[in-house]
Amino acid sequence: MNNYSRILKIMKYLFLSLILIVSSRVTSQENQNNIKINGIPGTLEWVIEPDSFNINEGTISITAGPDTDMFYAPHGNSKTSNVPKLLFAPDDDFIFRAKAYTEHKSRWEAATLVVYINEDYWAKLCFENESRTKNRMVSVVTNKISDDAYSDYVIGKSVYMKITKEGKQIVFSYSEDNNKWIDVRYFRLDSEEPIRIGFSSQSPHGKGLTSVFSEINYSKGKK
């Protein structure tokens, strides 16, 4: 085999290797953005991918990296939006609930349920760490500027969270036993664009946080 034939053979090998690499990356990307979870109709897609995630039947864990948050301070001098969000398109009226579990390690870390239109209009219900020994429910509603509200303290490492939508009105609720529900926020987003809802995890001042969501349930229509 002469040198010219060897060069052609090497080039052919490199070309085929490149095709396999590109094909693998495309397939991986499609899998990342074509996710299915028991309890949710249709597929979910990432808006900002997490450090890692795992799906086991009807349970999903999401690991957010360090310094991840989503908050636009009312004074206007601080705006952060880098949390991973796994979202799907709901019906006009719906009830969406899940059990959230996490082991908070630093202040403001949280497992969250998210309502998202775009970077200007969104909201989140957070199972958030306030201090080393206290976790509480916190809600943030953002119509270009964020408005956060602190609610009840929660004992333990898990809580049930719920989003209910009827017409324009959206309600955030939580429960410690999946039986008695407490509403913590009634609101609407000032946009006519369709919403998406789903899961997120955040670690504003920590080294990362894994949030686990289970007992996921979605139903169409009014409560």
Res 103: pLDDT: 92
Res 5: pLDDT: 60
DSSP string, 83-150: --EEEE---SSEEEEEEEEE---STT-EEEEEEESSSSEEEEEEEEEEETTEEEEEEEEEESEEEEEE
Fold of 36-220: Jelly Rolls (2.60.120)
Res 23: pLDDT: 32
Task: Give the SS3 label for residue 24.
Answer: helix
Q: Report the alpha-carbon distance of residue 178 to residue 213 in Å, rounded.
A: 14
Res 133: pLDDT: 79
User: Hey, what's the torsion of the CAs at 148, 131, 179, 200, to 10 degrees?
Assistant: 60
Task: Give the SS3 label for residue 215.
Answer: strand
Q: Is 114 within 8 Å of 124 (Cβ atoms)?
A: yes
Q: Report the alpha-carbon distance of residue 218 to residue 223 in Å, rounded.
A: 12
Res 90: pLDDT: 97
Q: Is 198 within 8 Å of 114 (Cβ atoms)?
A: yes
- The low-confidence residues of the chain, meaning pLDDT below 70, are 1-32, 223
Q: Name the pairing type of β-strands 70-72 and 182-187.
A: unpaired
Res 28: pLDDT: 36
Q: Is 197 within 8 Å of 189 (Cβ atoms)?
A: no
Beta bridge partners of 150: 138
Q: Collect all residues with Cβ–Cβ distance below 8 Å to 150 and sequence separation of at least 6.
A: 130, 136, 137, 138
Is this structure's pTM higher than 0.75? yes
What are the sequence ranges of the domains in the chain? 1-32, 36-220
